[in-house]
Structure 1
Amino acid sequence: MNIDIIRQDIRGLFDGKIFLNNAGSSLMPTHVVDSMIGYLKQEEQFGGYETANRNAELLESFYEETAKLINCKSSNIAFATSATDAYAKALSSIVFKEGDVIITTIDDYISNQITFISLQKKLNVKIIRTKKLSDHELDLEDLENLIKNYNPKLVAVTHIPTNSGLIQDVESVGKICKKYDVLYLVDACQSIGQMFVDVEKIGCDFLTATGRKFMRGPRGTGFLYVSDKMLEQNYAPLLLDMRGAHWSEYDDYELFKTAKRFEHWEISYASLLGFTEAVKYANHIGMHAIEHYNKGLSERLRGNLKNSGFQIWDQGNNLGSIITFCEPNGDLENIQKVLKENNVFFSVTYKNSALIDFTNKNINGIVRLSPHYFNTVDEIDTVSEILKNILK
């Protein structure tokens, strides 16, 4: 990777700005933005239908590039307007009945947890959360025992929680789910674009992701991976439209063969094109190279902050590019003030977004820094020094 060239391709880096909020919504490459503007100008001149027809091959490349990103076929990919949109469509394809069990973790994303609770309230579905080991990793033995005892309809795991740097062992979970033939859903919202993700190794039935975070795409984009097994068994979202099926009889339809059945016909094609260019960009650089570089940045920043005396809340054996911390007394205000004064972009997560995890940690919130491959080592050290002065 040539960091200088990568940084020159970002108009959002200027005036000493240090951008460390990639787990929230990253900075798009110039070409991503320009492609969307160009597409909208075409729509201005020719209308949406004609513009889509003229760019059909380019728009279709989204599926090929995304398949390349996660090691699957283009037929397994559906465009979504967000990770949550993809997640809801995947869940809606599963016929839940009263008494069915969903097994998840205490680190699952807030929106996922709320969705599970909604299913519990409306359909009397039972939610069971797996235990953690003393090293904060998933207790895989407990998970397997829960599967044997409850025969769940679904196992759902968030690859990297939004509220910590923990990378959960989704591959081992996949092996257990395959052993017992249990549906398996992975939320890869924070891992896609940050590290190499291989759906074949994970062994999931569904995987969801967003465009705006580490993928560096526009807001309002995401994707859903659907395995061949799910497609062959005719899994489809509860509410289909003509993007998902052929209206074959007055009172019947025939599902289309690919994961596009999980899409809706009307989307923002400018956003789809922008996301396509973001995926191409990541594929061109290479996810293995991005993962390796990110690991070095995050380890350096996390180590610097720990050595300065900050309380680090990333717990686990395998940590990613999300660094969560606070002052030793739990205070966040001074950290936020100093970061804002020095033009450092960050985010804050409070207890209501990670209720179980933060209750167990006995904290009310954390500051989150999330470096990415366009950040430099000098930036990491600069931010480390800025924060170090708070505790002097």
Structure 2
Amino acid sequence: MSIDVRAVRDQTRGVLNVAHLNNAGSSLVPRPVAETVAAHLRREEEIGGYEAAEEAADRLHTVYSSLARLIGARPDEIALAESGSRAWAVAMHSFPFVRGSRLLIGRSEYTGNVMALRQLAQRNGLQIVVLNDDPYGQVDVEHLQRELERGNVAMVALTHVPMADGLVNPAAEVGRRCRAAGVLFVLDACQSVGQMPLDVESLGCDVLAGTGRKFLRGPRGTAFLYVRASALGRFEPLALDGLSAYSSGAEGLEVRGDARRFESWEACIAGRLGLGRAVDYALDLGLDTVQERVGWLAEQLRTELAAVPAVTVHDHGITRCGIVTFSVKGSEAGNIRARLAEHRINVSVAPRPSGEVQSLLSGSPHVAETVVRASVHYYNTEDEVLRLVGLLPR
């Protein structure tokens, strides 16, 4: 099975305006997703917000089922959130860390996660251990094993696909080793969900956070959190409300028994319905097929870039994805981005992760080298790839 590129482009209004190669930032929303959001907002306009939500209750319920199917989970293990970073942080701040325990993280961990972990470490007297990279730039699973054997590990946190390396970390192997050691494994899948198949059983993760706006092609302000049912009882959100907990007698509260304990009463229903439609759209295409198309386009881009003498491609890993990072000798990454934007080609600028995590943890100043990040999706074309490369300084 292959993707009908013409058909998906016909359902993507934005391709008429730009060559959008910033899907790791926020993808172009397909027409069915935009129409789902707009239709619910129209109903809120016509009959009122609460009334429109009540009318859409059954469809909202299926959002949890769709997300569960996307990652091989159960609907009661899914919570909805307004951003992947927020979903990830809510889970982390809900875990009862034992003072003096250790957190193991990768060298290419997402910057926002590192800041949250640093706050947790300061509040709870934790030690953060940064795992080495292996020769391919991935997290070193042998170093992980040694640290697990040392003991006193509360949690392993890993970013599945770093924002600027092009690689896919060996999360399933990390999960296998964490499970054997009885250690909680938290996976940030914000850059992997939507561009490759994910299965929480195969990955072995206890917690997974994903976002809607990137490769899932959902609306901004949408995300989800997965927490394994067997681990759920270990998490208690710091802030409870009328959705996440119930009154239990005169002096007590009972936290609800599913993952929605991490949600709040108020939410953007239109956005959540749009997220569900985006998930269904991806499932209809097939994530194996999506990964094949995205991987092929990314390798085409890397090959074309490597043929330009002034260009250096910075991607690592055994398995690589739709994120391609590069620099041009004598040109600032920001200037390259602006030059491409003048020709209606969207890319972004990202810091190279080398040294950044350690500097964030130590509080020492660190000026990261920036690179151009071009991130392809299945609706992009080889012609768009060639246009980008053709505009680079030689």
| TM-score of the two chains, using structure 2 as the length reference | 0.93
**Letter matched to residue 236 of structure 1:** E
Report whether the alignment pairs 1:296 with 2:301: no
Identify the match of residue 373 of structure 1 among 360, 368, 378. Answer: 378
C-alpha separation in 1, matches of 2:110 and 2:144: 18
Alignment of 1:1-392 (within 5 A): 1-15=3-17, 17-231=18-232, 233-309=233-309, 310-329=311-330, 331-350=332-351, 355-356=356-357, 364-387=369-392, 390-391=393-394
Question: How far off its partner does 1:229 sit?
Answer: 1.0
C-alpha separation in 2, matches of 1:285 and 1:199: 20
- Checking the alignment, whether the CA contact within 8 Å between 1:69 and 1:283 is kept in structure 2 is yes
C-alpha separation in 2, matches of 1:201 and 1:47: 43
- Checking the alignment, whether the CA contact within 8 Å between 2:108 and 2:353 is kept in structure 1 is no
**Letter matched to residue 271 of structure 1:** G
> Structure 2: where are the runs of 5+ without partners?
361-365
Instruction: Determine the structure 1 residue equivalent to 2:363.
Output: none
Question: Which shows bigger deviation, 90-99 or 61-70?
Answer: 90-99
C-alpha separation in 2, matches of 1:357 and 1:102: 14
Question: Which shows bigger deviation, 106-115 or 361-370?
Answer: 361-370
Query: CA 1:351 to 1:379, structure 2 compared with 1: closer, same or farther past 3 Å?
Result: closer
Question: Which shows bigger deviation, 324-333 or 66-75?
Answer: 324-333
Question: How far off its partner does 1:259 sit?
Answer: 1.1
Deviations 1:61-113 (A, max 9, x none): 10111111111111111101110111111112211232121100110000000
Question: Which shows bigger deviation, 166-175 or 325-334?
Answer: 325-334
Question: Which shows bigger deviation, 326-335 or 36-45?
Answer: 326-335
SS in 1 for 2:224: strand
Question: How far off its partner does 1:208 sit?
Answer: 0.1
- Checking the alignment, whether the CA contact within 8 Å between 1:207 and 1:224 is kept in structure 2 is yes
SS in 2 for 1:153: strand
SS in 1 for 2:15: coil
C-alpha separation in 2, matches of 1:330 and 1:148: 46
Query: CA 1:358 to 1:21, structure 2 compared with 1: closer, same or farther past 3 Å?
Result: farther
- Checking the alignment, whether the CA contact within 8 Å between 2:96 and 2:235 is kept in structure 1 is no
Query: CA 1:124 to 1:357, structure 2 compared with 1: closer, same or farther past 3 Å?
Result: closer
C-alpha separation in 2, matches of 1:330 and 1:249: 66
Question: How far off its partner does 1:335 sit?
Answer: 2.1
C-alpha separation in 1, matches of 2:277 and 2:213: 13
C-alpha separation in 2, matches of 1:234 and 1:130: 25
C-alpha separation in 2, matches of 1:350 and 1:318: 21
Query: CA 1:153 to 1:357, structure 2 compared with 1: closer, same or farther past 3 Å?
Result: closer
SS in 1 for 2:326: strand
CA RMSD after TM alignment: 2.0
Question: How far off its partner does 1:117 sit?
Answer: 0.9
SS in 1 for 2:118: helix
Question: How far off its partner does 1:151 sit?
Answer: 2.1
Question: How far off its partner does 1:125 sit?
Answer: 1.2
Question: How far off its partner does 1:357 sit?
Answer: 8.7
Percent sequence identity is 35
C-alpha separation in 1, matches of 2:358 and 2:341: 27
C-alpha separation in 1, matches of 2:80 and 2:254: 20
- Checking the alignment, whether the CA contact within 8 Å between 2:104 and 2:129 is kept in structure 1 is yes
- Checking the alignment, whether the CA contact within 8 Å between 1:137 and 1:316 is kept in structure 2 is yes
Deviations 1:259-290 (A, max 9, x none): 11111111110111111111111111111110
> Structure 1: where are the runs of 5+ without partners?
none
- Checking the alignment, whether the CA contact within 8 Å between 1:351 and 1:363 is kept in structure 2 is yes
C-alpha separation in 2, matches of 1:36 and 1:357: 41
Question: How far off its partner does 1:257 sit?
Answer: 2.3
Equivalent pairs counted in the alignment come to 386
**Letter matched to residue 378 of structure 1:** D
- Checking the alignment, whether the CA contact within 8 Å between 1:163 and 1:354 is kept in structure 2 is no
Question: How far off its partner does 1:121 sit?
Answer: 2.2
Query: CA 1:75 to 1:153, structure 2 compared with 1: closer, same or farther past 3 Å?
Result: same
**Letter matched to residue 8 of structure 2:** I
C-alpha separation in 1, matches of 2:276 and 2:11: 17
Question: How far off its partner does 1:334 sit?
Answer: 4.7
C-alpha separation in 2, matches of 1:234 and 1:136: 33
C-alpha separation in 2, matches of 1:146 and 1:358: 21
- Checking the alignment, whether the CA contact within 8 Å between 1:243 and 1:265 is kept in structure 2 is yes
Query: CA 1:262 to 1:171, structure 2 compared with 1: closer, same or farther past 3 Å?
Result: same
Question: How far off its partner does 1:333 sit?
Answer: 4.7
**Letter matched to residue 253 of structure 2:** Y
SS in 2 for 1:12: helix
**Letter matched to residue 291 of structure 1:** Q
